[in-house]
Structure 1
Amino acid sequence: RQGGEMTDAPVPLAGAQPRGEAAPVAGGGGGAASPPPPAARRGRTSPLLPTLAVSESDGPPVRTRGRLSSNDWTRGADIGAIFGLDVGGSLAKLVFFERTAPPGIVRPPSASSLAKPTMERARSLEVLNTPACSKALRSFYDFMASEEITKYLGSVVHEDHLAFYSQDLGGMIHFVHFATSDMDRVLQLIRSHKLAHAVLRLGCTGGGSFKYQKEIEEQLGVQVVAVDEMETLVRGIEFVVSTVAGECYTYKLEGDEDAEEDKERDPLVEDGQGAEDEPTSAKKVSERWTAKVQRPAVALQDIFPYLLVSIGSGVSIVRVDGFNSYQRVSGSSIGGGTFFGLARLITGCSSYDELLKLAQCGDATKCDMLVGDIYGRTYSKIGLASDVVASSFGRLMSMPTEDIEQLTKPEDRARALLMMITNNIGQVAYLNAVQHNTSRIYFIGNFLRRNKISCHRLSYAIDYWSSSQMEARFLEHEGYFGALGAWILSASQEEDLPLPLGQSRATPPPSSPNGPHAP
């Protein structure tokens, strides 16, 4: 997902499964062989579910062939323990679990090393060992791998490269997302296959989980187990950081020979544009601080404390001290929304991806005022090189209004704005890390998706300001922590909640031609 060479190969924990490597298949519940993972089955038609006649209309798919009625393959089955859903404003993220054999010889999991929520989820997965659940699971996995889904829902993305094996839970965890605007069509698709008959409860988080709770419960007969959004985020991050080898990564200087030389530079130094008598400063830091270095998984107890910097429309900063021990300590209204809004104003672009592509080609020094613009040279008394930014967009102050469009390009303005926002976020994060005495800073949020410019700059800035005592870290499963946390944490709530009226774990929810389960 991020560019750059990978160095310092991670040292996997025993049993940690590298992303994207499918685990060998072993026997499943009831003595039957488990199906191959969804990635290997992609494009097949389910042998247990009816095929779909997909038309160009907006209506739900129509079954053209059926081999089993819903009661034949869902009676007595409850596979809700394998799902976690995070419904955001633009994307809905789904994680689901698949029991498989471990990828090689691994040590048995140690219960003492597991957080309580993970242990509870592990115990809840024991319900999947019944013959009824095994049949329902095979139907679901084939359903997820069928061509009908992508034909009917163009926004569905199976992120097979993110799938990983969890030793503690004994299976693969898979990741899918789709546009939240397609939620109604997703519900129609599930109803047409009667999959909801095999699910009693569903762990959900995100603002959309409240928005669509009524529809999910009334149309599918599935009880929504709502989990606090911040709790799911924190728990999801802790789970992958302690489970997945290479989950965390940062960026370092390309090559070691110039590392010490460039560490003397201020992170506010512009990309190039140095004075002729300052050859070191003339090097383009953001183009050289690009070596992607992945970090090994760490023991769960060694994660704390850490600072979580979530960059969405604004910035929220949370200090996490331990299990169920976290607090929001700071934040900023200057975040991704600020960049997107102002960038649209000064460039005319309408999409975030377009802005990032534009910024990659820009030169921020066309807009920014540098120390050299003020003093004509390096301000040696206080250690400022001539190419340090003195004022973001300050160069435009003295530029005639009618010349701004000619002397600066949209890509220059986009780059200058992106660097200004990123530098500000990095400074705020660093100061909070100092105040709260933590060296680990995890940056997450939609602002960083496909935004390598900001990831490179944050990595360099945190390293410089902290004299290499702190590190900016990023995560491969960005965007899925809420869904993972909802899946894990909902286990502790499932047994405490009453079942929907008229349902039990031994029987499917009621169905009638006019009811919520009608095809």
Structure 2
Amino acid sequence: MSGIRAKKMNVTGAKICDELPYPETRDIVLPNQTECVSQIAVDIGGSLAKVVYFSKRPNTTKGGSLNFIKFETDKIDECIDFISSLVAARRNPDASDLKKKIVIKATGGGAHKFYDSFTKKLKEVEVEKEDEMECLIIGLNFLIVEIPYEVFTYSEHDPMCFEGTPTPANMFPYMLVNIGSGVSILKVTDSDKFDRISGTSLGGGTLWGLLSLLTGAKSFDEMLELSKNGDNTNVDMLVGDIYGSDYNKIGLKSTTIASSMGKVFKKNVKQDVGNFRSEDISKSLLYMRSNNIGQIAYLNAKAHGLKRIYFGGCFIRGHPITMSTLSYAINFWSQGTIKALFLRHEGYLGAVGAFLKYTKQKQRSYSFSEIFTKPQMITEDSINAYGTLESTSTKLVAFPKLKNLDDYHPDTLQLTDPTAQRHWIDVLEKNLHNLVELAVEWSSNGEYGEQYKEDVKRRASSFDTLFRSHLATLRDQPNMYGALTVRSLLDLREQCLHELGFPDIFAKVKAEENKLALLNLQEILNKVDSIQSVEDKIELLIENVLAGNMFDWGSSQVLEMLRKGELSFETAKAKVTRPDHLNNTRSFIERITSKDKPPFKKAVIFVDNSGADIILGIIPFARFLISLGMDIILAANSFPAVNDITFEELSVVVTSIAEIDHLIAAAWTSKKLSVIGTGSASPCLDLRRINDDLAEECKDVDLVVLEGMGRAIHTNYNVKFTCESLKIAVFKNAITAMELGVHMYDAIVSYEGNN
């Protein structure tokens, strides 16, 4: 399989280099050990020891990363040595702000069995044992709520269909079937209420043991690999072997397994195991264990009236045959009423839960986002991967004005069709060269000398290699990192740029465009103010917003025009068209001028690009709304993405505008105009995950404005709100335009009132 494989942490030979101007480059210049580890948790099962550790970059108080690694329990000394190296890395001078003694949260049976080994070798560490079942539930609850596309279903004919994030109202009850060496079945009725209702000693260890006896395979992964090429019908007795056909009366097909390994021993015939292929034996026993666990799980779910069954544990290992068999068993016995639910972080539930015990007594003031620049898989043949979980600067919560959070899906184009998947991957790969050139052109700075220029070129080349490698992986397994969407692809590109020390390659051009737009703002404001008719004024303001939205360096077609100097504010107006079926400008005007409805009191505007977009388009529009007596929130990205304006940049822009315009100045001073970060670092917008401060301020808004292609077309095109809304954007991507039945540079002005 093409793609990127996990690399173990190298904790030797670290040398810190601070010569370059951007600290983001340290992750490339240095090994991962330059990050100080502040928390460690380990879940030690009968077969595997799973470790999660939280690391922070030196010289920063901002956030950190939750990392994952596993070891065979038989090689527990390797696990202890690895943890020792993490602790040793904390001794560097940059770790002086951390506690002198680190605490390891340990769970699983091995937390008791190997307790003395840990405390003996890790003298500077305090080991605290935690209950295994409690940690499993804490970890599962966290992952399915916090990590998008964590949960998926799987079948041979419909692989990897991702489930939406459950809300607290519909999350419980559920059942967890945790498959390790043995199997534990837990009924969970609330975030901290559960019972172990069943289990079986016939688990992953059983399969591992039997295959060790019957095949030449030396590891569990090798045994699973054998099963891929096996034919279980050579050793299993099927219904057709007994009846010669289907057994229709009770609904059994001729291919149904009647007796696992039933052909190995027949009447008066005993054959030596050497006469049977290891591949066939492996597949037969894998089917046997998976079918058995699936049936036991269903029977327990039926007995307790449970409809949601999660399967966790390293036995599954992202293995298609295992998941397909478990799904088939649940579907067969429940007659299609229950689905088997799988997890991308399947083997780390307990370790994550143990880690979270650190903060269980206090409310977390941050969330986690999954970063896929260095993805990992349980095995090299897993169909799913998991990334590093990076803590965000704020808590991310759902936007309070969503009409139905349970049914909210941010992405307009799901890219489930293979043709669409290939098409988008091709487009991003084709445009990669331009982005690399921009990274070199705009990131090189003469004051740092020739050495720095060469470093920029090297990192730009590394970015090209890294992102191409990811695209190759996604060609092979489109859902490897979760559901493949336009948003996920654009986010992955941004993550790769940041990983290679390009936190904001558009910073220079954004500053230049903001400066140029500010010079032209007064002329725009004067023209708006000179219009007496409110209707005509709104028409002009909408026209300006659409013209400004054309200035998008994230669009390859527009980028070409911008680089050639072929796009001005007036030529942009000429390019934009408003098809009647997408244009509700008249309805919005009627709402603003209506005498029969109460006026709007407060609006939030999710803004898009720097330069002409925000300054010549959105600011005059927001200023007009302020003149009507409204409070306005400008919601901008918290972190850089393409040429989108960040809330810090926007705050500077608004301060500058306040110096030349009394209306903006008064609103800015009185806080009737405010700028708040969305919590996002994406050109798209997932309204399930926004800054909690912004969410709090938006509880009483009566108008939501989504501006720009990323926020109103690629995402949220079909979203409904509990208040009135306006979506306004220009189609600047030919594929998206074609998919949605419009043309390039068509505009959407979609107003929805309260019915």
TM-score between both structures, scaled by the size of structure 2: 0.40
1:93-147: CA deviation from partner (whole Å, max 9, x where unpaired): 123165xxxxxxxxxxxxxxxxxxxxxxxxxxxxxxxxxxxxxx51699xxxxxx
Distance in structure 2 (CA, Å) of the matches to 1:336 and 1:46: 33
1:442-470: CA deviation from partner (whole Å, max 9, x where unpaired): 11112111422111111122123223221
Deviates more, 1:337-346 or 1:383-392: 383-392
Equivalent residue number for residue 164 of structure 2: 296
Deviation at 1:323, TM superposition (A): 2.2
Deviates more, 1:302-311 or 1:291-300: 291-300
The one-letter amino acid paired with 1:362 is: G
Distance in structure 2 (CA, Å) of the matches to 1:34 and 1:326: 48
Distance in structure 2 (CA, Å) of the matches to 1:245 and 1:187: 29
Distance in structure 1 (CA, Å) of the matches to 2:315 and 2:153: 16
The one-letter amino acid paired with 2:337 is: Q
Distance in structure 1 (CA, Å) of the matches to 2:249 and 2:80: 64
Whether the 8 Å contact between 1:290 and 1:456 is mirrored in structure 2 is no
Pairing partner for 2:43 from 49, 67, 86: 86
Highest CA radius of gyration, 1 or 2? Answer: 2
The one-letter amino acid paired with 1:177 is: I
Evaluate the alpha carbon distance shift between residue 484 and residue 300 of structure 1 in structure 2; reply closer, same or farther with a 3 A threshold: farther
SS in 2 for 1:412: helix
Deviation at 1:184, TM superposition (A): 4.5
Deviation at 1:186, TM superposition (A): 3.5
Equivalent residue number for residue 147 of structure 2: 244
Equivalent residue number for residue 385 of structure 1: 253
Evaluate the alpha carbon distance shift between residue 138 and residue 209 of structure 1 in structure 2; reply closer, same or farther with a 3 A threshold: farther
Equivalent residue number for residue 202 of structure 1: 103
Evaluate the alpha carbon distance shift between residue 225 and residue 43 of structure 1 in structure 2; reply closer, same or farther with a 3 A threshold: farther
Equivalent residue number for residue 138 of structure 1: 58
1:3-24: CA deviation from partner (whole Å, max 9, x where unpaired): 9xxxxxxxxxxxxxxxxxxxxx
Distance in structure 1 (CA, Å) of the matches to 2:152 and 2:254: 32
What does 1:52-451 align with in structure 2 at a 5 Å threshold?
A: 80=38, 82-88=39-45, 90-96=48-54, 137-138=57-58, 171=63, 173-179=65-71, 180-186=76-82, 188-189=84-85, 190-191=87-88, 194=91, 198-199=98-99, 200-206=101-107, 207-210=109-112, 211-212=114-115, 215-216=118-119, 219-252=122-155, 288-398=156-266, 400-402=269-271, 405-406=274-275, 408-451=276-319
Distance in structure 2 (CA, Å) of the matches to 1:416 and 1:41: 46
Distance in structure 2 (CA, Å) of the matches to 1:187 and 1:493: 25
Evaluate the alpha carbon distance shift between residue 46 and residue 178 of structure 1 in structure 2; reply closer, same or farther with a 3 A threshold: closer
Equivalent residue number for residue 352 of structure 2: 484
The one-letter amino acid paired with 1:86 is: D
In structure 2, stretches of 5+ residues that fail to align are: 4-20, 363-755
SS in 1 for 2:230: coil
Whether the 8 Å contact between 2:311 and 2:346 is mirrored in structure 1 is no
Deviation at 1:88, TM superposition (A): 4.7
The one-letter amino acid paired with 2:220 is: Y
Evaluate the alpha carbon distance shift between residue 45 and residue 436 of structure 1 in structure 2; reply closer, same or farther with a 3 A threshold: closer
Distance in structure 2 (CA, Å) of the matches to 1:47 and 1:334: 40
Deviation at 1:187, TM superposition (A): 5.5
Distance in structure 1 (CA, Å) of the matches to 2:78 and 2:311: 29
The one-letter amino acid paired with 2:141 is: E
The higher-RCO structure (CA 8 Å, 6+ apart) is 1
Distance in structure 2 (CA, Å) of the matches to 1:389 and 1:86: 36
The one-letter amino acid paired with 1:41 is: D
1:480-516: CA deviation from partner (whole Å, max 9, x where unpaired): 222321222233569xxxxxxxxxxxxxxxxxxxxxx
Distance in structure 1 (CA, Å) of the matches to 2:260 and 2:140: 34
The one-letter amino acid paired with 1:419 is: Y
Distance in structure 2 (CA, Å) of the matches to 1:380 and 1:479: 39
SS in 2 for 1:93: strand
Whether the 8 Å contact between 1:289 and 1:460 is mirrored in structure 2 is no
SS in 2 for 1:394: coil
Equivalent residue number for residue 27 of structure 2: 41
Distance in structure 2 (CA, Å) of the matches to 1:417 and 1:320: 30
Deviation at 1:338, TM superposition (A): 1.3
Whether the 8 Å contact between 1:205 and 1:227 is mirrored in structure 2 is yes
Evaluate the alpha carbon distance shift between residue 187 and residue 396 of structure 1 in structure 2; reply closer, same or farther with a 3 A threshold: closer
The one-letter amino acid paired with 1:401 is: K
SS in 2 for 1:432: helix
Evaluate the alpha carbon distance shift between residue 222 and residue 377 of structure 1 in structure 2; reply closer, same or farther with a 3 A threshold: closer
Deviation at 1:428, TM superposition (A): 0.4
The one-letter amino acid paired with 1:138 is: P
The one-letter amino acid paired with 2:88 is: R
Evaluate the alpha carbon distance shift between residue 96 and residue 412 of structure 1 in structure 2; reply closer, same or farther with a 3 A threshold: same
Distance in structure 2 (CA, Å) of the matches to 1:366 and 1:292: 29
Deviation at 1:358, TM superposition (A): 0.9
Deviation at 1:177, TM superposition (A): 1.6
SS in 2 for 1:447: coil
The one-letter amino acid paired with 1:361 is: N
Evaluate the alpha carbon distance shift between residue 186 and residue 385 of structure 1 in structure 2; reply closer, same or farther with a 3 A threshold: closer
Deviation at 1:397, TM superposition (A): 2.5
Distance in structure 2 (CA, Å) of the matches to 1:450 and 1:139: 38
Tell me the percent identity.
36
Whether the 8 Å contact between 1:445 and 1:479 is mirrored in structure 2 is yes
The one-letter amino acid paired with 1:397 is: F
| Structure richer in helix, relative to its length | 2
Distance in structure 1 (CA, Å) of the matches to 2:206 and 2:255: 25
Distance in structure 2 (CA, Å) of the matches to 1:410 and 1:48: 46
The one-letter amino acid paired with 2:27 is: R
SS in 2 for 1:309: strand
Whether the 8 Å contact between 1:87 and 1:204 is mirrored in structure 2 is no
Q: CA RMSD in A?
A: 3.5
Distance in structure 2 (CA, Å) of the matches to 1:374 and 1:489: 54
Evaluate the alpha carbon distance shift between residue 401 and residue 321 of structure 1 in structure 2; reply closer, same or farther with a 3 A threshold: same
Evaluate the alpha carbon distance shift between residue 42 and residue 479 of structure 1 in structure 2; reply closer, same or farther with a 3 A threshold: farther
SS in 2 for 1:395: coil
SS in 1 for 2:51: strand
Deviation at 1:352, TM superposition (A): 0.8
Deviation at 1:331, TM superposition (A): 0.9
Evaluate the alpha carbon distance shift between residue 366 and residue 85 of structure 1 in structure 2; reply closer, same or farther with a 3 A threshold: closer
The one-letter amino acid paired with 1:194 is: R
Evaluate the alpha carbon distance shift between residue 236 and residue 187 of structure 1 in structure 2; reply closer, same or farther with a 3 A threshold: closer
SS in 1 for 2:160: strand
Distance in structure 2 (CA, Å) of the matches to 1:429 and 1:314: 13
Distance in structure 2 (CA, Å) of the matches to 1:472 and 1:192: 42
Evaluate the alpha carbon distance shift between residue 376 and residue 480 of structure 1 in structure 2; reply closer, same or farther with a 3 A threshold: closer
Evaluate the alpha carbon distance shift between residue 96 and residue 47 of structure 1 in structure 2; reply closer, same or farther with a 3 A threshold: closer
Distance in structure 1 (CA, Å) of the matches to 2:177 and 2:32: 42
Distance in structure 2 (CA, Å) of the matches to 1:36 and 1:227: 36
